[in-house]
Structures are given as structure tokens and as C-alpha cells.
Amino acid sequence: MGERIGIIGGGIVGMAIARALAATGDVEVTVIEKEARVAAHQTGHNSGVVHAGLYYQPGSLKAMLCARGRQLTRDFCQDRKLPYRELGKLVVAVTRDEVPRLDDIEARSRENRVPGLRRLTAGQLNEIEPHVAGVAAVHSPHTAVVDYAAITEAMADDVRRAGGNILLGQEVTAVAPRTGSVTVSTTAGSQVFDRLIVCAGLQSDVVARMVGASPSPKILPFRGEYWSMAPGRQDLVRGLVYPVPDPRFPFLGVHFTRGVYDEVHVGPNAVPALAREGYGWGGISVRDTLESLRWPGAPVLARQHWKMGVREISASLVKPLYFQQARRFIPELRSSDLAAKTAAGVRAQAWDKDGSLVDDFAVDQVGAVTLLRNAPSPAATSAMAIAEHVLENHLGIPPRP
């Protein structure tokens, strides 16, 4: 056996990298995950969308790795007989003043070579989604939905079959890089590796500090809350219905998604989480909150986005406000159609000292340690492509064909 490579984090990105390394047959791979199962946080708390690349800056890592990742995800699901449903996505301009932004999305999508993209009139969009109101739309027919937790479990099986180790329930407490090795201490003991890859998601800046890396970017946790559609009203949505994103804000806004198992959910919103793993208003960490408030970029971010913050927090606490955001797209929607809040997700958003939110994927190298500092959506879609990128560009290991 060759090099010993450790991976901190058992989400889909960490597991995709572990799988790619194990497939080379030349390394001894060990994944360390603090939870009792893989895919416990961001991977298992999202809407399951396989993105086609509509929004991302052409030439960015997001744009390139999303396109490659969609193909790899589709092929993996087909090979493993996991559900992969191309339900298609509509990005809808509800009013005329949103049309110029829709034009921008269409132009960006075409530059990113989004497959099958079509511009639709109001009548054409109603052929796809009869209950949706809008003056124009862009349709991405190959946007799909999957079960990312099931995909991650299947990847974990591949790692184990290839001789890799997956250590669950072991929280990392210290990382000590030394000449020629890296020692990782956990709640269950310690491991020594030749190289280490950190895919810690919500805890990525915490582990980066252990390594001795720059404290910037810091992770700012945003909670996204979903409502489930009442079973008798799920036929109001056939696939995925998204708003035209406002470039002034870092999030897409409330949208409708039919999931891989035919559940329909509405959301998410985006509210600052009061803990890194704060999945509800009751989840509060004084330390995490104070760290965010003390960050040099906090005043700038607050000035730029306080109106959005007030709106999102209000909609989180007051259902009629959330309902009004959703009803813009489906006039037939009734408040009772939002049947119950489902499990929320927390997004690990990287945040620079100047208050800007990091948009693209970000990977740092500190000696023998590779750190994924920012891996927001479409990281799940892109996971296997991110693995190829890390192996080739940061580890110098050509990925196996």
C-alpha cells in the first residue's frame, strides 16, 4: 500500500474524494466523520437537485465542475440503480421587470452550454407547469432530482470494498502537521497520515484554524427552511419552479421542488443560523453567534443585506409572509397547502473579512493539507468532479478513468 491519506468529513464531497482515491489502488484512505452516519449535515439536508449550470459565472469552478459533475452523477445513479429523475426546471419571470434578469440567466446558461435550454413564452411555460403564473421563463429539461444521502452511502460502500476505512462517531479535536506527516487527534484516538484533505463543511474554518491556515474565509451558517405541500395539492407542481435570482442577494429565493420520491416542498428561505448546526430557532450557540458578530466583515454584510435579512427572518417566523412569497408563482396556492415545516438545512457559506460572501468553490493548500474552504451549491451535483479536480490539481494524482 502506498501513501496514507486522511479525509475529514463524511459528506458527499469527502466521500467522492475518498472513492476516487481508493479507486487508484495506490493509497490507503481513511475517512473521519464525527456523526454516526455519513451525509448527516448539508448532504442529507438539501432538496436533492442535480443542477445543470444555469446560474454560475462562465469559466468559474462552479460552472465547469457542475457540468462535469451532472454527467458523473447521472452515470453513477444509472450504474447503481439509484433514482435519477430529470423533471426539469423552470426559471420564471413573474413580472415584466424581471425579464432583463431572465435574459441574463439565459445568456449565462447558453455560455455554460446548459443542455436543452429553451426560452419560453407565458403560454409555453404553462404547457410545462399549468398552474404557474409568469410572463416568460427559461426551461432546463435536464435538471434532475436524486437522493444524495443514498448516493453518499453507495460511495461509502465503494470505499470499504476498495479497502478504505470510514471511522464514524469520531470528532476531530486537533490537527498537527509535521514534516512528512499529519497527525489527526479525535475523540477516539489519533491517526497519522502522509496527507490530509479537509471537507468539513460547516466546521471547515474550525479545522482550518487547527491546521494553522488563514482564518479567512470564515463560515457563516445560513438555515434554509422548507414547507411540504399537502398531499392532495402536490399536482400544482410537476417539476422544479424557481424565481429569477436577484443579483443583489446571495440566495435564490423560495422555490418549488418535486423530489425524487414525489414529495413536493417549498423553499428554502435563508436566515442566519444561530449555531453552525442550528437546524431551528432553538438551536443556539453563543460562541458561534459571537464569532460571527465579531468577524471584521460583519458590519459591511449587515449594511448590504439587512433588508433581506429582516424579510427572511420575518417569513420564517410568520407563515403568511412565507406563503405570500410562494403564492407569487402559483396564484391557486392556499395557505393550507403549506402543510408542515420539514427538516431544515444549514448552508456553510464562506465569508471574507471584507464582508463579501465567497461565490466560487475555494480550495487552499497548506503543506500536506488540502482544505476545501467553500463548497456551497452546486457542490453535491459537482462532488465527483470536485474529487477529480482535487486529485489532479492538489494531490498530483491523475484520477482513474
Answer whether 52's CB lies under 8 Å from 62's CB.
no
Residue 250: give the domain boundaries: 218-357
Query: Could you give the strand order of the β-sheet that contains 189-193, starting from the edge strand earlier in sequence?
Result: 172-178, 181-186, 189-193
Kindly state whether residues 386 and 342 are assigned to the same domain. no
The residue whose grid cell reads 491556515 is 213
In sequence order, which ranges of 196-297 are alpha helices (DSSP H)?
204-211, 286-294
pLDDT score recorded for residue 342: 78
CATH code, domain with 291: 3.30.9
pLDDT in tens, 124-133: 999 999 999 9
Whether residue 66 lies inside any domain: the answer is no
**pLDDT score of 353:** 86
pLDDT above 90 covers what percent of the chain? 68
The CA radius of gyration of the chain, in Å to the nearest whole number, is: 21
Q: What's the total number of domains in the chain?
A: 3
Helix/strand/coil percent split, the chain, to 5: 35, 25, 35
Which residues neighbour 401 within 8 Å (Cβ) at sequence distance 6 or greater?
none
* Domain identity same for 379 and 240: no
Is residue 302 over pLDDT 90?
no
pLDDT in tens, 189-211: 999 999 999 999 999 999 999 99
**Does residue 248 carry a pLDDT above 70?**
no
Number of DSSP helices (H) and strands (E) in the chain, helices first: 10, 21
Which stretch of 174-183, 246-255, 261-270, 335-344 has the lowest confidence by average pLDDT?
Answer: 246-255
Q: Is residue 59 part of a domain?
A: no
pLDDT tens for residues 381-399? Answer: 999 999 999 999 999 887 6
Position 398 in a domain: no
pLDDT band at 35 (very low <50, low <70, confident <90, very high): very high
Residue 290 banded pLDDT, cuts 50, 70, 90? confident
Q: Say which amino acid occupies 140.
A: S
Pair (172, 287) in one structural domain = no
* The pLDDT value given to residue 336: 93
pLDDT of residue 314: 65
Can you give the pLDDT at residue 315?
A: 66
Contact 32, 8 (CB under 8 A): yes
pLDDT of residue 25: 85
pLDDT number for residue 312: 66
Mean per-residue pLDDT over the chain, rounded: 90
Say whether both 278 and 373 belong to one domain: no
> Per-residue pLDDT for 65 more than 80?
yes
For residues 161 and 41, membership in a common domain is answered with yes
pTM, 2 dp? 0.94
What is the phi/psi pair of residue 120, to 5°? -120, 145
Question: What's the confidence (pLDDT) of residue 357?
Answer: 82
Residues for the chain: how many in total? 401
Q: Are 252 and 242 within 8 A, CB to CB?
A: yes
The lowest-confidence range among 144-153, 223-232, 236-245 is 223-232
Q: Is the pLDDT of residue 74 over 90?
A: yes
Residues 259 and 325 in one domain: yes
Query: Are residue 99 and residue 111 in the same domain, yes or no?
Result: yes
Q: How far is CA 149 from CA 15, 117, 183, 259, 373, in A?
A: 11, 28, 29, 13, 22
